[in-house]
Structure formats: structure tokens, C-alpha cells
Amino acid sequence: MQLRYQFRVYPTPGQQEALAKAFGCARVVFNDGLRLRQRAREAGGKYVSDAELSKRVITQAKATPERAWLGEVSAVVLQQALADLNAAYRNFFASISGKRRGRKAAPPRFRSRKDNRQAIRFTKNSRFKVLDNGRLRLPKIGDLAVRWSRRLPSDPSSVTIIRDAAGRYFASFVVQTTDGPLPPAASEVGIDLGLTHFAVLSDGTKVAAPKFLRRAARTLRRLQQALSRKQKGSANRKKAVVKVAMAHARVADTRRDWQHKLSTRIIRDNQAVYVEDLCVAGLGRTRLARSVHDAGWASFTDMLEYKAARYGRTFARVDRFFPSTRMCSRCGRINDKMALKVRAWECSCGAAHDRDVNAAINVLAAGQADNSNDRGAQVRPGLVPAPRGEAVTHPDVARPTRSVEGILVL
């Protein structure tokens, strides 16, 4: 499978200037291509093809006095900027036609030089190279100093140079990994993600929520207050912006490192991992938005998914409407909705449940049912007849009920 390996790079002042020039040229080509297609659509003309677009905004533009400086950067950088534009259009068209699953993709927008993140990409056609002395040689940029934290598993097919909001530079390599599967593990686990505890496993293990953003709130508040007092457009304001970005980057890096260690441990210890498919975007619009974003559930589940595929483990998501919290893991009865403050409850069958542990056990059972084993064993809690006192009969509506054997009858 293809993975990205990212490393910190330290360009010299001259190389930073060359990178800034490449960032700007790629941005101009992207915006020129987008503007050309928009004008063609407004004029009622045909959709400008990829080849025609490259010819007009790169090849012909270099011959004009207004865009002659495009020849000062690598041509691959400009071509990859147009490739990003074409991919954005394809995703947008596939989204509105229903061919692309997930959330609706918006049409491409113009890039701004004030964007916090700038990036350019080099492919093998540009002949970039990792030298024997550990430096990264890029065309018309030079040899960049790289801080290697691990070896690349194979020759990279492309490298993306990124400048983030904090002014740091990174090299992101796309490599092909050939990792073999891990030795089989005897256990499987279901995970219930939450805010009180970041993750509760079906074996009863509870992982406390680190709350990295909450812990850094005092420092962030002080830096943002100092930023608000700086005059707009001044050099001191630019310095304050970098300080705020560095504080946020430190929080994000700490959270990412912690999630990598936890996800790796879970994948190594379990043969199959099942999680609930949470609607993080919807939860991010509630009063718990800050805590939800601080938890980082989406990035954590993405780590579990790709690491499971990488190491030969099973990973599955349980339907988000599955009542894992309200269902009794012993008898299968589904209770009424309960408030968030209720952390423990008792079922009418006599079972006492911890709210989160019970949900994790139900997630495990539901995941195993959707991914049944070779023998086809029944792992989901069986059907249980409703108590006689709960049955309600309406005179005008015949509701289906279940017999003791679990057969649907009228």
C-alpha cells in the first residue's frame, strides 16, 4: 500500500526565497486555470479539456511578458498545480452526480497568497533525488537539509514540500510499503469513543482523554490577546501570528503523536477492531464542539483503519444509528434514551452495566455479526420477547410482534 512519510526540512534563506517563488507560480497557474474554465462556462462554451488548459495557462503563458517568470520554476510544479485543479473538478462532478460517496464536494476555489498552508509537488519526472549525504535535491531549489527520523521503505514516487502556518517546512514522500502481516492475535476488541474517556474497550480498559487543547487554553488565550493588541500590517503583528500558529501546531503535533502510539498498540494486540461510525461533523456543531474537536476521533479512526490494512488486521465501522449505549449486552433489550450524566444503569434482566463498557461490548458484537467468522457463528445478542406488560395494542393498527422463537408474525 502507498503511505506518506513526512520529515522536517530546513531550507536556507536563499532556498526559502526559491520555494516562495515556486509556491506563487503554482498558485497563479491554478488560479489562471480556474478562471479560464469559469469564463468558458459563463460564455456558454465547452468545458476546457486538461490538455488545452495546460497549453494555454503554462506553455503559451510563458511566452507572454505578463507570465514570463513562470519559466523560473520547475515545469513539473506547474503541471502538478493543474493536476490538483483537474482532480478538484472531477471530485466535484462525481459528487453532484452521485458517483462519489460521502459529503458533497464543493467546486474548486481560488487560492490566496495569504493562505496559511502553501505546498508544491515534485514527481519522478522532475528528477528529484535523495543524496547519499541525506540532503534532498530539488530542481531549481537546491539541496535541502532533511531531519530523517526513519528510513524510507522504498524509492519515493513523489515529494510534496509544505510550508505550514507556523513557518515550518516539511517534505512529504509517497512510498510503497511491503510490510507483512503481524502474527495472529487471539483477541478482538470493540471501541466506544467518548469525551469523559477518550476510548473505552470492550475488555473494560478505559483510556483517559488527554484534552490537549484544554490544557493549552491558557497559553493560547494569552498569545491571542497579545495578537489582538498589535497594529494590523505591522511587523510585530506578523511575529505574534507566528507565535499563535506555533502554539496550535504544538497542540496538534502532541495529539497526533499520542494517537499514533495508542492506535499502534491496539492494532498490535487485537486481530479485529470495531468502532462506531460517528458523525463528527454533526457533533462539531453542538455545544460540545470544542471538546469534540479536541478529541480528534476522525483522525484516530483513520489511523486504525490504515494500520489494520497495513498489518493484516480486520477493521470495521458499526452503523452510527446502532443503539450501542441503550442496548443491554446480556439480554439484548433496548431501553429508553438516557441522559449523558447517567454513567451506570441496570437492566430489567438484573444486569448492572457501566455505560461505556456496555456500549463497547455491543459494538464488538455488532461488528462480529457483520463480519461473521468462517463457521457462521451467531454473535449478536439474540431476540428476546418483550415483557407482557410492555405490549400495547391499538384498535386500528395491527403491529407486528415477535414470538418466542424469534419469527415475525402479525
Is 392 a member of any domain? no
Rounded CA-CA distance 4/42 in Å is: 39
The pTM assigned to this predicted structure is: 0.83
- Angle separating helix axes 235-269 and 217-228, nearest 10 degrees: 160
Say what the pLDDT of residue 372 is: 59
Rounded CA-CA distance 395/401 in Å is: 15
pLDDT in tens, 300-333: 999 999 999 999 999 999 988 888 888 888 888 8
Same domain for 247 and 159, yes or no, is: no
Is 409 a member of any domain? no
Same domain for 331 and 265, yes or no, is: yes
What separation in angstroms does the CA of 205 have from each of 307, 356, 392?
A: 21, 10, 40
At 235, list the grid cell. 511587523
| Residue 169 predicted with pLDDT over 60 | yes
pLDDT in tens, 93-128: 999 998 988 888 999 999 999 898 999 999 999 999
* Pairing outcome for strands 314-318 and 272-276: parallel
Is 166 a member of any domain? yes
Kindly list the catalytic residues: 192, 276, 356
For the chain, the domain total comes to 2
Same domain for 140 and 189, yes or no, is: no
User: Which string of DSSP letters, residue by residue, matches 232-295?
Assistant: TTSHHHHHHHHHHHHHHHHHHHHHHHHHHHHHHHHHHH-SEEEEE---HHHHTTSTTHHHHHHH
pLDDT in tens, 23-65: 999 999 999 999 999 999 999 999 999 999 999 999 999 999 9
What separation in angstroms does the CA of 44 have from each of 37, 39, 41, 48, 149?
A: 11, 9, 5, 12, 53
Is 391 a member of any domain? no
Domain hosting 346: range is 183-383
